[in-house]
Structure 1
Amino acid sequence: MKKLGKKILAAVLTATMTLSLAACGGSKQTSTDTNPSADSATNKTTNDGGLDTSKHVTVKFVVLGNRPTNGRLESMLKELNTVLTEKVNAELDLQYVEWADWQTQYNLLLASGDSSIDLITTATDWLDAWPNIKKGSFMPLTHDMIKTYAPNTYASVTSEEWEKCSYDGQIYLIPENHYTQYTNHGIFYRGDWAKEAGLSNINNFSDLGKYFQFVKDNKSNVIPWDVSGTAANGNALASGYVQSTTSNIVIDGVPIGLSSIYYGASKDDAYTVTSPYMEGTSFEDFAVLMKEWADAGYWREDVLNYDGDTRELFKAGASGADQHHTQTYVTDVRPNMDIKQPGSDTQMFSFSEPSKNLVKTSITHGCVAIGASSKNAERALMVYDLLRNDEECYRYINYGIEGSDYIINDSGELDRPDGWDQSIDALESNFWCGRNDELELPNARHYKGAADIYADYDTYAIDYPYGKFVFDNSKVSTQIAAMADVCANYIPRIAFGKVDDPKAMVAEFREKLKAAGYDEVLNEVQTQLNESK
C-alpha cells in the first residue's frame, strides 16, 4: 500500500479506535497510535463497557508444517472451538504451509493479501518477518489495541520486548517471550553405536566421520546418515560447520534465499561484517571433508534427489544419524528413540560444542502477526490471548484432548495413553508462537537431561546481538536475488560432496557470488549495522 493511502487509512482508523476506547471508559487516552484494523465492526464496544462479540467469526491461523491426516487435529479443534465460541464467539481454523517448498509458499501466501487470513506464525530469523513487514504483509498494531483485545499477553511483554517487535515506530509482532528453548542445531547419533566404535562422546566433525565409518562397516542395512540433500539440509550442515570452526556470529536478518552468509566477526566484534563462506579457509575445509564423506558412502549416492524422512528412518534403526536442533532432541528424538530403539542412548553433537559459539534463542524466533488485510483483527487478538494464556485453551492447542491425546499421570506430568505413537498419533497443531512456561505441563516423555544441557549452554551462550537490527534491502534487492540463486545452486552440491574438485568448486562459488553483488550487499549491511548502534 502506498504511503499516502496508509496515512489516510491511519487517520480514519485512529478515529475509530478513539471512539471504541471512549465507549470503554477510556477518557484518559493520550496515545496517538493508529489502529490499523480493517474492520472494527466485528468487535465494537457495548454500552456497559464490554467488548461486543455478538457476531460469530472464524479466525484463520497460518501455521508451518504438514497437516496431519490422523483425525486428531480435527477432533481437538471441535472441542477447542466450543470453548472459543463460548468465550469470544469465534472459532479457529488452521491453514498449513507444508514443508515442501515451504519458504516460497509461505511468502507467496503472505504476498497474496488474502483477507481471510488473521493470525500468522512468523519469525525474524527463519520466516522473513522483517521483509514481510516491509512488503506490507502484516498489520501494524498499537499498544492500546493489544492492551484492549489481548490484555494478558500485553501485560507479559516488556517495553523493551515490544521495541524488538517494532518497525518504524509501529508494533508488528507479538513475541513468544515466555518459553524456554534452545534452537541451536547439531547431529543426533546413537550413543550405543558410538561406544562400540570407541567414541565415548562425539563433539567434533572428525569424530562424527569416525562414527559414520563405523556404522557403514558394522551395521547392515543402515545408511550412516540417510539424509535428503535439500537446500535446507545443505545450509544447516554448512552453517553448522562454520559454527563449529569459527567465532563468527550469523546475522539472521539478512537472508540470501535459504542461506545466511553474512556474519559478525565474533561476539567481541559483532558489528564488523564478514562471511566465512567467502573469507578464510573454513568453507574450503568443509567442502573437502564433505567430498570425502560422500565418496565414503556416508549418505546415498542420489542424495540431492532423495526425499526420504530421515527422522523416521533414524527411529526405525535404518539411519545412523539425524540433524536438527536441541528442542527437537529433548522433546522428540531422544524420548522416542528410547522407546523405539531401547538402549540406543541417543546423543546430540551440538555444532556449538567445539567453538563454544552460541547465541540464545531470540524472543522473535517464534512470534505471531496479524494479516494486513484481516477483517477480524481484534477478534484474532482475543483468540490468540486465550490460546496463550487460558489454561483450558492452551492445553487444547498444545496437547489435544485429555484422555485421547494425553493424560496427566500421578506425578502431575503430561504423559500419553497406552499405545500412543508420535509418528502416528501426533496432534501437530504447531503452535510455535505463544507457548508459555507458566502453563506448560512437565512432560514425562521429554528427555530428563534437558536441564543439564541448557545449563551447559548457559555457561557460554550470549544474547543475540542483532535483535533490533532491521535490514533494509531496497538498495540491493537485485543483488540479493542473484546471490540467492547462486547459493541454491552451489551450497547443496558442496555440502553433500557432489563435486569433482571441492576447492575449485568453492572458488567458482565465490566468483559467482562476487559477480552477483556480494560486495555491494556486504557494504550495505555494514553501513546499516553501524547506523543501528
Structure 2
Amino acid sequence: MKKKVLAALLSASMVMGLAACGSSTSAPAGTDAPATETKTETETSEAAGTETAEAPAIDTSEHVKITYMTTGGAPEGNQTDEMLEQLNKILTEKVNAELEIYYIDWTDYLSNYNLTLARMDGTVDLVGTASDWLDAWPNAKNGAFLPLSEEMLKTYAPKTWESVSPEHWDLCKYDGQIYLMPEDNYAQWTNHGFTYRLDWAKEAGLANGVHSWEDLTTYFKYVKETYPDVIPWDSDGTQYATMVGGWITSHSNYVPIDGINSGAMWGGTKDDLYTVYSPYMTDTDSLVEFAKMMKEWDEIGVWKTDVLNNTASDNREDYKIGRVAAEQHHTQTWTDLCSHKDGYTIYDDPKAESGFFYFGEETKNLVALSITHGAMAVSAASKNPERALMVYDLLRNDPDCYRLINYGVEGVSYEVTADGMRKNPEGYDGNRDGITTNYWWGRNDDLELKDSTLNWDAINALYDEYDKIKIDYPYGQFVPNVDDIQSKIENINDIHTTYMKQIAFGKYQGSAEDIVAEYQAALEKAGINDVTAELQRQFDELYK
C-alpha cells in the first residue's frame, strides 16, 4: 500500500511540475504516425467548436539513457548495435534520450526476469511483460511496476494514449490503476492447429481441405498409404497437452483460464464464462473419443513408434522439405509456412500448398489473444519514468523509430519493395545482417511492413474468418491467488502429464474407457474439485 501511495504522489508531482516548468522544447515526436479511429479529447473539443488548453512544456534538457528489458539472448555479431546508433540519433534529437537493451537469456528466464525487477536498483526503465507468461500482474501487485496515471500517459505518451481505447486501458488496470501499455493494435494469432499439405489433402478426396479431426484421420491414412517414405507427423511426444486441449476446444465451448497450470485445465464456457469447471472431469465421453482416435492414429503410424522418446525430431524443418506431412503449432507458424514464394525447399514442388486446420474450427470456438500477452511496463525503480514513456511512444508510433527497432537498418537488414512490402536484401545473412531486439510489446499494424514472401491472400482470408467468430479473452484481469492450492495444482499437473502422454499418443493399455476413468479418479484424489471450488470463490469476488 505504501508503494502505491508513493507512486500516486510521484505521478501527481510530475504533472504539477510540468505546469511550473520554465524550459520549452518540442513535444514528444511521432506526430507523423497514421491517424487512428479513436477520437482524442482534442479532436472532440475542436469538433464541438471549443478551445483546448495548450499542452505544457516538457523539460528534456538533461540527456538520459533508457534501458529496455526484454527476454531472449543477447545478439552476437549482427546489426543490432548499428541499428541502435541510428535509432539513438533520432531519440536524442526528439526527446534527448538514448536506448539500451538489457537481455534476459531464455535459460531460467522467468526467475532471472523477476529477480532483476525485484532488485529495484534502477538498472531498467522499460520492461517488456505479459499477463500470461511473464508475471505482469504479480509484478504489478508486488510493486515492481510504476502505476501510470492518465495524466502521465496523456503528457508523455500521447500517441499511445490516443490509440488505445478506454476499454483496453481498463484491461491494463490492477486494483484500479493502469500498469501496462498493451500491444492491442497488432494482428497476432497463437491459437494452435495443424499445418498440412493441402495438395495432398485434395488428392485424398478432401476437396476443401482438412476441417475436422475426422478429416485429419483421413488425411493421415492417405499419406501413410500413398507416400510411404513420408512420416505423417514426426512428433517429439511433447505436444500431449496441446493435443487434448485442442480436442476439447474443437468439441465444446470451453474457454480456458491462462496461467493456472500448463494444461489450462480450468475455465468457463462461451455461454457461461464465469462458472468455473474442468472439462477434464466433466467431458468424459469426449475424452474417451479422443483416446480412441489417438489409438487409431498410433496404429496408422502417424508418428514413430518411439514417439515419447523421440527427442531428435525436427518436424518443422522436415515439413519444409517434404519429409513429413503435418506440423502442429499455432497460426503464426502457419503464416510462415504457407508461402509459395522463395524461402523453403518444399516449394520447389510447384504443386505444394499448405493449409491450416485450427483447433475449434468445428464449433467456431476461438478466443483472441489477450492484449496483455505482450505489453510494456515502466519499472517502479526507473530514475526517468517520464522519458521512458516518451521513448516508448516513439518506438510504438514514429515510423522511423518503429522500422529501426523492428526491422533494422534499411538496405542492410531489409528492403522495401515497390508495393510497400518488406524483403531481404540480396546476399542477406540473418546471423550477420539481422537484428535482435525482441520487441514484442508495442507492435503496430498501422506501421507494419508485410513480409513479401508470404501468401497474404491466404493469410488475410483466414484472419477474416477468425475476426468473424472470435471472442475477446475474458479473464485478463483475473490474478488467481494459488498459495493455498499450489500443492494440489502441482500434483494435478503431474497426473495430467503422466496420463496424457499415454492417451494423446495412443500408448495406453486396455480400453479408452478404462484409461480415462483411471485418469479422472487420480485427478479427483489429487483435489481437482477443491481447486475448482476455490477458483470459483475468487471469480465470485471479482466478477459478481
TM-score by length of 2: 0.81
Aligned residue type for 2:3: K
Contact 1:229 / 1:303 at 8 angstroms: preserved in 2? yes
Q: Following superposition of structure 1 onto structure 2, how do residues 492-531 of structure 1 map, counting pairs within 5 Å? A: 492-501=501-510, 503-531=513-541
Distance 2:442 2:503 in 1: 37
3-state secondary structure, aligned to 1:117:
coil
Contact 1:246 / 1:282 at 8 angstroms: preserved in 2? no
Q: Following superposition of structure 1 onto structure 2, how do residues 348-363 of structure 1 map, counting pairs within 5 Å? A: 348-363=356-371
Deviations 1:311-366, CA, capped at 9 Å, x for gaps: 22322323322122223322x22127764222321110011211111123332232
Q: Tell me whether 1:50 sits opposite 2:58 in the alignment.
A: yes
Aligned residue for 1:185?
192
Aligned residue type for 1:334: C
Q: Following superposition of structure 1 onto structure 2, how do residues 410-429 of structure 1 map, counting pairs within 5 Å? A: 410-418=418-426, 420=428, 427=435, 429=437
How many residue pairs align between the two structures? Answer: 501
1:21 equivalent among 15, 18, 22? 18
Q: Tell me whether 1:261 sits opposite 2:269 in the alignment.
A: no
3-state secondary structure, aligned to 2:489:
helix
3-state secondary structure, aligned to 2:388:
helix
Deviations 1:399-432, CA, capped at 9 Å, x for gaps: 2221122211122222332355779976453322
3-state secondary structure, aligned to 2:480:
coil
Identity score, percent: 44
Aligned residue type for 2:339: P
How far apart are 1:372 and its partner, in Å?
A: 4.0
Contact 1:119 / 1:380 at 8 angstroms: preserved in 2? yes
How far apart are 1:391 and its partner, in Å?
A: 0.5
Aligned residue for 2:214?
206
Q: Tell me whether 1:149 sits opposite 2:153 in the alignment.
A: no
Aligned residue type for 1:226: D
Structure 1 range deviating more: 454-463 or 8-17: 8-17
The unaligned stretches of length 5 or more in structure 2 are: 24-55
Contact 2:198 / 2:352 at 8 angstroms: preserved in 1? yes
Aligned residue for 1:250?
256
How far apart are 1:452 and its partner, in Å?
A: 1.6
| 159 and 264 in structure 1: CA distance in 2 versus 1, 3 angstrom threshold | same
Distance 2:114 2:328 in 1: 25
3-state secondary structure, aligned to 1:349:
strand
Q: Tell me whether 1:81 sits opposite 2:84 in the alignment.
A: no
3-state secondary structure, aligned to 2:272:
coil
Aligned residue type for 2:331: T
Distance 1:137 1:10 in 2: 11
Aligned residue for 2:392?
384
Aligned residue for 1:313?
318
Aligned residue for 2:488?
479
How far apart are 1:243 and its partner, in Å?
A: 0.8
3-state secondary structure, aligned to 1:206:
helix
Distance 2:279 2:290 in 1: 11
How far apart are 1:509 and its partner, in Å?
A: 3.5
TM-score by length of 1: 0.83
Aligned residue type for 1:243: T
How far apart are 1:189 and its partner, in Å?
A: 0.7
Contact 1:257 / 1:487 at 8 angstroms: preserved in 2? no
1:347 equivalent among 352, 355, 358? 355
Aligned residue for 1:273?
276
Contact 1:337 / 1:344 at 8 angstroms: preserved in 2? no
Q: Following superposition of structure 1 onto structure 2, how do residues 58-73 of structure 1 map, counting pairs within 5 Å? A: 58-63=66-71, 65=72, 71-73=78-80
Distance 1:395 1:455 in 2: 26
Contact 2:70 / 2:439 at 8 angstroms: preserved in 1? no
Contact 1:60 / 1:92 at 8 angstroms: preserved in 2? yes
Distance 1:422 1:246 in 2: 43
Aligned residue type for 1:122: T
Distance 1:180 1:402 in 2: 23
How far apart are 1:125 and its partner, in Å?
A: 3.6
Aligned residue for 1:158?
165
Distance 1:14 1:457 in 2: 40
Superposed structure 1 runs of 4+ greater than 6 Å apart? 421-425
Aligned residue type for 1:364: T
| 50 and 459 in structure 1: CA distance in 2 versus 1, 3 angstrom threshold | closer
How far apart are 1:153 and its partner, in Å?
A: 1.0
Contact 2:260 / 2:480 at 8 angstroms: preserved in 1? no
2:126 equivalent among 119, 124, 127? 119
Contact 2:120 / 2:381 at 8 angstroms: preserved in 1? yes
Contact 2:365 / 2:470 at 8 angstroms: preserved in 1? yes
| 431 and 375 in structure 1: CA distance in 2 versus 1, 3 angstrom threshold | same
Distance 1:160 1:356 in 2: 25
3-state secondary structure, aligned to 1:188:
strand
Deviations 1:454-494, CA, capped at 9 Å, x for gaps: 22223322333334444343453443344344444444444
| 141 and 206 in structure 1: CA distance in 2 versus 1, 3 angstrom threshold | same
Contact 2:183 / 2:442 at 8 angstroms: preserved in 1? yes
Distance 2:89 2:409 in 1: 13
1:239 equivalent among 241, 245, 257? 245
3-state secondary structure, aligned to 2:373:
coil
Contact 2:318 / 2:324 at 8 angstroms: preserved in 1? yes
Aligned residue type for 2:205: G
Contact 2:195 / 2:327 at 8 angstroms: preserved in 1? yes
Aligned residue type for 2:353: D
Contact 1:115 / 1:374 at 8 angstroms: preserved in 2? yes
How far apart are 1:262 and its partner, in Å?
A: 0.9
| 352 and 15 in structure 1: CA distance in 2 versus 1, 3 angstrom threshold | closer
